[in-house]
Amino acid sequence: MENMSISARHIGMRFGRRGSEQTVLESLDIDIAPGSFVTLLGPSGCGKSTLLKILGGILAPTMGEVLIGGQPAAAAVRRRQIGLVPQRPALLPWKSALQNASMLRQLATGERFADAAPAAERALELVGLVEARDKLPHELSGGMAQRVSIARALAMDPAILLMDEPFGALDAITRDQMNENLAEIWAATGKTILFVTHSISEAIFLSDTVHVMGVKPGRIVETLEIGLGRPRTRQVFDDPLFSEYAARSRELLEPKVTV
């Protein structure tokens, strides 16, 4: 697995036809160090998912340039260096957890199931789900299904993992467990993770760097470097530094009240 930096310059994104265009992102610069955990935190509709896809080379911006490992982003996508974990797991209901976890790898590489299965099994181990390898999606809880979705991306062994609010639909307790598991996966694999969330505490718990975004047009209003030690456990929620980052994030995210 290669460790690749991401560098984006003057990123702008517009959607729609001429005359009724909407500027979603404007003049955005961002640098991401290899192996770091970076989160885009912002209100609904500020362009987090759009920026995530642009930074991962899945979507071409209307302005600016993204380099991954010094090359145009599309090259990293072609070389299967980018994995995506979407908001919903979207598993194939007739396939087992292991078959679902191996599916993207098979599609991308042309490998048969038997050849892709060992990587998928290792990925299921990483997400703590190897015992459920033969279960069908309807036999899995929401958290387990999302773990299979993460394993499906990990089975490709991409250098960069894009995670688009993967835990948004889970209950608070499961979400905390998933965050702890994700922090372990990140530490064990050394991947660069780009993560999108609405949740301030999730962002601070997981990240080295949090880019707080604003709306209309979407832009980075402030970047917080999270100086909390690692490995992090739930005790970190009681750290005064955690509260400081949370208070600052809240301040940036709350709409300004004008009297």
Ligand X SMILES: Nc1ncnc2c1ncn2[C@@H]1O[C@H](COP(=O)(O)OP(=O)(O)OP(=O)(O)O)[C@@H](O)[C@H]1O
Residue 15 makes contact with ligand X by CB under 6 A? yes
Residue 48 makes contact with ligand X by CB under 6 A? yes
Q: Which stretch binds ligand X (CB under 6 A): 37-45, 92-100, 202-210, 243-251?
A: 37-45
Residue 211 makes contact with ligand X by CB under 6 A? no
- Shortest distance in whole angstroms from residue 54 CB to ligand X: 9
- Dist. CA 8–CA 31, nearest whole Å: 6
Q: Which stretch binds ligand X (CB under 6 A): 41-49, 72-80, 106-114, 150-158?
A: 41-49
Output 135 or 198, the one with its CB closest to ligand X. 198
Output 15 or 94, the one with its CB closest to ligand X. 15
The binder of ligand X chosen from 4, 8, 11, 24 (CB under 6 A): 24
Residue 146 makes contact with ligand X by CB under 6 A? no
Residue 50 makes contact with ligand X by CB under 6 A? yes
- Dist. CA 22–CA 205, nearest whole Å: 33
Residue 216 makes contact with ligand X by CB under 6 A? no
For residue 76, what are its two tokens? 């990293």
Output 58 or 74, the one with its CB closest to ligand X. 58
Q: What single letter denotes the amino acid at residue 23?
A: T
Output 117 or 194, the one with its CB closest to ligand X. 194
Output 45 or 190, the one with its CB closest to ligand X. 45
Residue 47 makes contact with ligand X by CB under 6 A? yes
The binder of ligand X chosen from 49, 192, 207, 249 (CB under 6 A): 49
Q: Which stretch binds ligand X (CB under 6 A): 45-53, 113-121, 128-136, 152-160?
A: 45-53
Do 168 and 198 contact (CB within 8 A), yes or no? yes
- Shortest distance in whole angstroms from residue 86 CB to ligand X: 11
Residue 45 makes contact with ligand X by CB under 6 A? yes
- Shortest distance in whole angstroms from residue 87 CB to ligand X: 7
| 3-class DSSP string for the chain | CCCCCEEEEEEEEEECCCCCCEEEEEEEEEEECCCCEEEEECCCCCCHHHHHHHHCCCCCCCEEEEEECCEEHHHHHHCCCEEEECCCCCCCCCCCHHHHHHHHHHHHHCCCHHHHHHHHHHHHHHCCCHHHCCCCHHHCCHHHHHHHHHHHHHCCCCCEEEEECCCCCCCHHHHHHHHHHHHHHHHHHCCEEEEEECCHHHHHHHCCEEEEEECCCEEEEEEEECCCCCCCCHHHHHCHHHHHHHHHHHHHHCCCCCC
List residues near ligand X by CB under 6 A: 15, 24, 42, 44-50
